[in-house]
């Protein structure tokens, strides 16, 4: 079992990126952090919360969960592989996130792909 610390970010696909940005900033109160050609990153005071990607239909694309700062992605990948889930380490998923363990198998009940990242270590 993978011990998750918390939900990190949600990535949504949208056919109208500008309309989705307007909704999340004007209705939900998020702030546009970065906008690229076909995706945008929105944040709250606590950090990055939502990624929007230009796509064909509105849907939840993937969820990013945080695991312990010391969690070993190699060990987690081995456990996932034993359960038939292929994964890979990526380091370019979105600004400020760093290294993630990506798996494209659908998360049960969510119907989307998943990512894991090490939770940040906070100074005492």
Give 123's pLDDT tier (boundaries 50, 70, 90).
Answer: very low
Query: Which residues, including other chains, have CB under 8 Å from residue 112's CB and lie 6 or more apart?
Result: 59, 60, 61, 62, 63, 106
Quote the CA–CA distance of 34 and 111 in Å, as a whole number. Answer: 26
All structural domains of the chain with their residue ranges? 4-118
Q: Which residue has the higher pLDDT, 110 or 21?
A: 21
Is this prediction's pTM over 0.85?
no
Residue 90 has pLDDT above 70, yes or no: yes
Confidence of residue 120 (pLDDT cuts 50, 70, 90): confident
Dihedral of CA atoms 98, 103, 109, 112 in degrees, nearest 10, equals 70
Q: How far apart are CA 12 and CA 55, in angstroms?
A: 9
3-class secondary structure, 5: strand
Question: 4-118 is classed in which CATH architecture?
Answer: Roll (3.10)
């Amino acid at each position: 079992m993978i011990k998750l610390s918390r939900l990190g970010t949600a990535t949504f696909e949208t056919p109208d990126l500008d309309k989705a940005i307007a909704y999340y900033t004007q209705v939900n109160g998020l702030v546009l952090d970065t906008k690229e050609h076909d995706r945008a990153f929105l944040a709250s005071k606590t950090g990055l919360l939502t990624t929007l990607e230009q796509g064909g239909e509105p849907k939840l694309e993937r969820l990013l969960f945080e695991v312990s700062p010391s969690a070993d992605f190699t060990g987690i990948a081995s456990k996932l592989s034993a359960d038939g889930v292929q994964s890979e380490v990526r380091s370019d998923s979105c600004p400020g996130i760093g290294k993630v363990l990506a798996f494209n198998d659908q998360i049960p009940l969510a119907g989307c792909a998943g990512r894991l990242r090490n939770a940040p270590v906070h100074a005492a």
